[in-house]
Amino acid sequence: MSNADVDILIKLGISAAFGLIIGLERELKRKPVGLKTSLVISVVSCLLTIVSIQSAYMFPNSDEVKITMDPLRLAAQIVSGIGFLGAGVILRRGNDSISGLTTAAMIWGAAGIGIAVGAGFYLEAFVGVALLIISVELIPYLMKLVGPKQLREKEITLQLFIRDKEQIEPAISFLLKKKYIMRRLRIKDLDNGDHLVQIVVAVDYREKTTEVYATVSDLEGVQKVEIESMS
């Protein structure tokens, strides 16, 4: 086995290790793109980068024909091609919120790490992985502790089924007195005579969703409560 072959195997091994770290972070959060997908993306991106670089120097030049190839031409297509996978994990929920953007970005990041390792930038790839993990794990936690107030809030969707429409205004006033920030309000008349009040409120991230449920379910006139936490 030549030194070049050993070098290629080392690159693939390092790429697999970095892909494992990225995939493990997604797997622990039960995201749709986890360990196996990140490993495949990182290793194959590294392999394609190696093939792209090596093949650029396989064709000898002659006096009759001058062949010039971009060593990273094939690798450059990975960046755009990985977008198809990223688009597949971005979902639009029924409440008009978007999920999966971070996972899509991590897919793109795993491909970038594989390209960097395949091109021989080991230190840069290591720093890139470290910064990725810090960005999605540590920074959001710090922002909840010392960041602006908006970053220390979480959104909760409430669906209140109220029989008497006269009880709607007191229910909304109660939520405002609790210092919940109302982001969106929708009132709908149901066929059975009840009124559906859909409210999106922002509360402190430390407040448990179950506590909000217990508070709202005790409101006078509220027949039934459905609640969903955005985070």
Please tell me the pTM assigned to this model: 0.68
Are residues 120 and 172 both part of a single domain? no
* Cα-based torsion angle of the residue sequence 106, 13, 47, 38 in order, rounded to the nearest 10 degrees: -20
Residue 64 structure tokens? 């009759």
Q: How far is CA 193 from CA 80, 124, 164, 188, 216, in A?
A: 53, 63, 9, 10, 21
Please, which residues have CB within 8 angstroms of residue 25's CB and are 6 or more apart in sequence? 106, 133, 136, 137
pLDDT in tens, 19-56: 888 888 888 877 767 788 888 889 999 998 888 888 77
- Chain centre to alpha carbon of residue 44: 21
Of 146, 173, 189, the domain-final residue: 146
CA distance 155 to 158: 10
Are residues 163 and 216 both part of a single domain? yes
Q: Which residue has the tokens 């000898």?
A: 60
Order of all β-strands in the sheet with 195-204: 181-189, 195-204, 153-162, 222-229
The domain total for the chain is 2
Which of 1, 68, 20, 108 has its CA nearest to residue 116? 108
Amino acid present at 203: V
Of 146, 170, 185, the domain-final residue: 146
Q: Which residue has the tokens 């930038």?
A: 121
pLDDT average, residue stretch 153-181: 86
Give the pLDDT band of residue 88 (cuts 50, 70, 90): confident
Are residues 123 and 11 both part of a single domain? yes
- pLDDT > 70: percent of the chain: 87
pLDDT in tens, 139-160: 877 877 776 766 778 888 889 8
Of 146, 165, 199, the domain-final residue: 146
Contact 41, 115 (CB under 8 A): no
Are residues 102 and 42 both part of a single domain? yes
Find the domain containing 219 and state its range. 150-229
Are residues 161 and 92 both part of a single domain? no
Amino acid present at 73: R
Which carries the bigger pLDDT value, residue 225 or residue 89?
A: 225
Q: How far is CA 58 from CA 45, 47, 176, in A?
A: 20, 16, 71
